Amino acid sequence: MPLANIAVSAIELGLFYALLALAFLLVLEGSAFFNFGIGPCAMFAPLFATWLVRSGDVPVIPAILAGILGAVVLSVLTEVLVIRSVERKSGTDPLPALVAVVAVLFIIEQLAGLIFGRALTPGQHVWRHAPFRFAGIVVTPAQVLLTVVTLATFVLVATWARRSSTGRLLRAVGDHQSAARLLGLPVARVRLLAFGIAGLIAGIAGVLFAPKAGVHFQTGLTWSLWGFLALVVGGTGSFWGPLAGGLLLAFAQTFASYWFGSAATDYLTLAVALAFFVARPTGLFTRTVRV
Mean pLDDT computed over 116-134: 82
Q: Region 91-112: what's the mean pLDDT?
A: 83
**pLDDT of 20 strictly over 90:** yes
C-alpha Rg value of the chain to the nearest Å: 19
* pLDDT value for 55: 85
291 band by pLDDT with thresholds 50, 70 and 90: very low
Instruction: Report how far apart, in Å, the C-alpha atoms of 214 and of each of 120, 124, 217, 237, 261 are.
Output: 6, 9, 11, 32, 21
Q: Let me know: does 198 contact 27? Beta carbons within 8 Å.
A: yes
* Mean pLDDT value of segment 13-18: 95
Is residue 156 classed as helix, strand or coil in its secondary structure?
helix
Identify the burial level of 166 via C-beta atoms within 10 angstroms of its C-beta, where 0-12 means exposed, 13-18 middle and 19 or more buried.
Answer: exposed
Phi and psi, residue 158, nearest 5°:
-65, -40
Q: Which amino acid is at 59?
A: P
DSSP annotation of 215? B
DSSP H helices, 57-140, are: 60-77, 84-90, 95-116
**CATH of region 3-279:** 1.10.3470
1: burial class by Cβ within 10 Å (0-12, 13-18, 19+)?
A: exposed
The model's confidence at residue 290, banded by pLDDT at 50, 70 and 90, is very low
Q: Is 152 within 8 Å of 204 (Cβ atoms)?
A: no
Range from 29-43, 154-168, 178-192 carrying the lowest mean pLDDT:
178-192
Read off the pLDDT band of 289 (50, 70, 90): very low
- Tell me the residue type at 37: G
Helix axes 3-31, 165-175, angle to 10 degrees: 70
Residues with Cβ within 8 Å of 161's Cβ and at least 6 positions away in sequence, in order, are 29, 167, 168, 170, 171, 239
Q: Is it the case that residue 191 has pLDDT exceeding 80? A: yes
pLDDT at 117 over 80: yes
pLDDT band at 210 (very low <50, low <70, confident <90, very high): very high
Q: Which of 93-102, 199-208, 228-237 has the lowest mean pLDDT?
A: 93-102
Q: Which helix (H) or strand (E) holds 241?
A: helix 241-260
